[in-house]
A and B are shown apart, each in its own frame.
Chain A
Amino acid sequence: GENVEQHPSTLSVQEGDSAVIKCTYSDSASNYFPWYKQELGKRPQLIIDIRSNVGEKKDQRIAVTLNKTAKHFSLHITETQPEDSAVYFCAASKGLRGYSTLTFGKGTMLLVSP
């Protein structure tokens, strides 16, 4: 089955700096890669995703890049703010017959200091 590795496990940055979180996956058939943000005690929220036919996707201060050959993808957050502090999870999935089963990384705790 799919295996997703996520690094680093914790990341501390100063407000205004950039943050990068990296994930690798094992199954070359995976074709969908979402990122979730989870604040303490809350549900994970989908913040951005990318399909395997795209190399990069941006949404304001966040972007995701995908390297299919190397089987890794990354989340980039620019101009970080204290409200970006949360645990971020990457996931990988093979979309099959109209549904997807996600395999998650273990998460990265991002701390943004004012």
Chain B
Amino acid sequence: SQTIHQWPATLVQPVGSPLSLECTVEGTSNPNLYWYRQAAGRGLQLLFYSVGIGQISSEVPQNLSASRPQDRQFILSSKKLLLSDSGFYLCAWSVQGTYEQYFGPGTRLTVT
């Protein structure tokens, strides 16, 4: 069966520091991958999605970037964090050719 992992689970970082969040999927090949952010008490906002290695589409312009160096690995990065980057970051995957998305356990990021 398929499993999605995210790490770290929680992170506290100062303003202006860099960020790297990692997501990996097991048990499937060539998945679609997605990064979402959920601010406290709010809905989910799609940040990036990828349909293959090296293919990244951005939904919201901001100081975040994403990369997909391997088929089942998706990384979210920032060179300099802002206070407004705090939130719950969720990675999701779907099978190519299908619409159902399944979420990872998330990373709770607090920027201080």
Contact = CB atoms under 8 A, between A and B. Distances in A.
Interface stretch (A44-52, A61-69, A73-81): A44-52
Dominant SS at the A interface? strand
B56 to A, nearest CB: 13
Contact of B90 (A43, A49, A105): A43
A89 interface: yes
Interface stretch (B13-21, B39-47, B62-70, B77-85): B39-47
Interface in A32-62: 32, 34, 36, 42-46, 49
Given A43-B90, A43-B106, A100 B46 contact: no
Contact of B43 (A43, A46, A95, A107): A107
B43 A32 contact: no
A44 B45 CA distance: 13
A72 to B, nearest CB: 17
Q: For chain A, which range describes its interface: under 10, 10 to 19, 20 to 34, or 35 or more residues?
A: 20 to 34
Interface string A84-109: 00000101010101111111111100
Contacts of B101: 34, 46, 100, 102
Contacts of B103: 36, 43-45
29 contacts: A6-B43, A34-B100, A36-B103, A42-B105, A43-B90, A43-B103, A43-B106, A44-B90, A44-B103, A46-B102, A49-B99, A49-B100, A91-B44, A95-B99, A97-B51, A98-B51, A98-B96, A98-B97, A98-B98, A99-B32, A99-B96, A100-B101, A101-B34, A101-B46, A101-B49, A102-B46, A105-B43, A106-B42, A107-B43
Interface of A: 6, 32, 34, 36, 42-46, 49, 89, 91, 93, 95, 97-107
B81 to A, nearest CB: 22
A104 B94 contact: no
Nearest to B49: A101
Interface string B71-96: 00000000000000000001000101
A79 to B, nearest CB: 26
B1 to A, nearest CB: 15
